[in-house]
Amino acid sequence: MKGKDFLSITDLEPDEVSQMVRKASEMKIDGVPRLLEGKSVALIFEKPSLRTRVSFEVGVQQMGGNCIYLSQADIGLGVREPVVDVARVLDRLVDVIVARVFSHESLETLAEETTIPVINALSDLAHPCQALGDLLTMSEAKGHLEGLRVAYVGDGNNIASSLALSCASVGTDFVIAAPGNYHVPSVAWEEARRRAFEKESLLEWVEDPKRAVDGADVVYTDVWISMGDEREADERRKVFSKFQVTEDLMGLADDQAVFMHDMPAHRGEEVSENMLDHHSSVVFAQAENRLHAQNAIMTELLSG
Ligand code: NVA
C-alpha cells in the first residue's frame, strides 16, 4: 500500500493487487486476525448501502472491533460542518474511517486531515473494495486471472473505472462497451492503459456490446443510473437501452463464462428479468466476497 489510506486501486502497485486478492482468498478460508480488538471504526454513509455496510460491520466484528454508523442525517458531511472538521474530530476518537461519499474530494480531505486509515466505500469516481472482491470472485470461478477476458457492458462509472484498473493490474483483458459520452474518465483510463501495457494485457473501449462480449470469460454490468445520477434517469434509460445484458447477449460469451453484477440490480433495465438466476450468474458469491476483500484491506492497513 502506497500510503495509510485505500481510496483507489491506484493506492496499490499492480503486483500488490494480486497479493491482496491472494490474501483475501486465504482469509476466506483461515479467518482474520483480531487487529481491531478494543478499536472503533466510523462508517460514514452519505448514500444508502446494503452489501458495503453489512460486510464492513461483519468484518470489523470478526476482527474484534466496534462500528459506529454515521448517516448523512447524523453528521451532514460538508453541510452541517465542513469535511475537515469531521475529519479532525474522528481522528481523535476512532481508529479507522470507512466512507461512502458523493464527491471523491471529500474522501481526499478525510485522508489528508487524519492520521488514521481512510477506506473508500464508494465515491462518484471509484469503488475499489468492490473491484478487489470482484477479482477474488473471478479467480474462484475461473481458477486464474491472467489472460481472462472481462467484458463490461454499460456505464463507464465508478464500478467500471475501478474494475478496469484492477483487471489491468493483474493481466486480465478488459473490454468495455459503453456509449460515447459514458466512457471511463480519462484519468482512470490512462492509468489502466499504463498498467495493461506493463502486464501485456488488453484494454479496449468499444460501442457495440456484442463485440465486447464475443468470447468473453466474464460478462459484467452495473446500473445505468448510479446514486447521484437520478436527475439524468430518463436520458440515461434512452442512451443505454441497447446495453442490456440478456441471455442472448450472454450466449455470445465463452461457454463457461460467468455473469457478474455488483448490485443492486434493476431487472428489466441493465439486466433482463432472469439474468441474476442464469446458470452463469455468480452475483451472490460476488456479494459475499466483498467481506473477504475488505478484511484483507483492513488487515493490510492496520498492520502496515
Ligand atoms: N454505480 C453504482 C454502484 C452501486 C454499488 C452507484 O454508484 O450507485
Tens of pLDDT, residues 261-300? 999 999 999 999 999 999 999 999 999 999 999 999 999 9
Q: How many CB atoms lie under 10 A from the CB of residue 140?
A: 16
Which atom, in ligand 1's list, is nearest to the CA of 157?
Answer: 1
Query: 158 C-alpha to center of ligand 1: Å?
Result: 7
Q: pLDDT digits over 117-146, tens only?
A: 999 999 999 999 999 999 999 999 999 999
Which atom, in ligand 1's list, is nearest to the CA of 51?
Answer: 5
Q: What one-character DSSP code corresponds to residue 79?
A: T
Query: 93 C-alpha to center of ligand 1: Å?
Result: 29
Residues 6+ apart with CB under 8 A from 280: 219, 250, 253, 257, 258, 259
Is 175 near ligand 1, meaning CB less than 6 Å away?
no
Is 108 near ligand 1, meaning CB less than 6 Å away?
no
Question: Residue holding cell 473505472?
Answer: 161
Specify the pLDDT at position 212: 98
Is 102 near ligand 1, meaning CB less than 6 Å away?
no
Q: pLDDT digits over 36-59, tens only?
A: 999 999 999 999 999 999 999 999
Query: 83 C-alpha to center of ligand 1: Å?
Result: 22
Specify the pLDDT at position 76: 92
Which atom, in ligand 1's list, is nearest to the CA of 226?
Answer: 8
Query: 155 C-alpha to center of ligand 1: Å?
Result: 10
List b or e across 259-280, with b for residues whose CB sees 16 or more CB atoms inside 10 angstroms.
bbbbbebeeebbbbeebeebeb
- By alpha-carbon position, which residue is closest to atom 7 of ligand 1? 226
Ligand 1: residue of 45, 130, 153, 159 to mutate (most ligand atoms within 8 A of CB) is: 159
Query: 268 C-alpha to center of ligand 1: Å?
Result: 17
Which atom, in ligand 1's list, is nearest to the CA of 124?
Answer: 7
Which atom, in ligand 1's list, is nearest to the CA of 262?
Answer: 5
CB 177 within 8 A of CB 212: yes
AA letter at 87: A
- By alpha-carbon position, which residue is closest to atom 2 of ligand 1? 226
Q: How confident is the model at residue 189 (pLDDT cuts 50, 70, 90)?
A: very high
CB 25 within 8 A of CB 140: yes
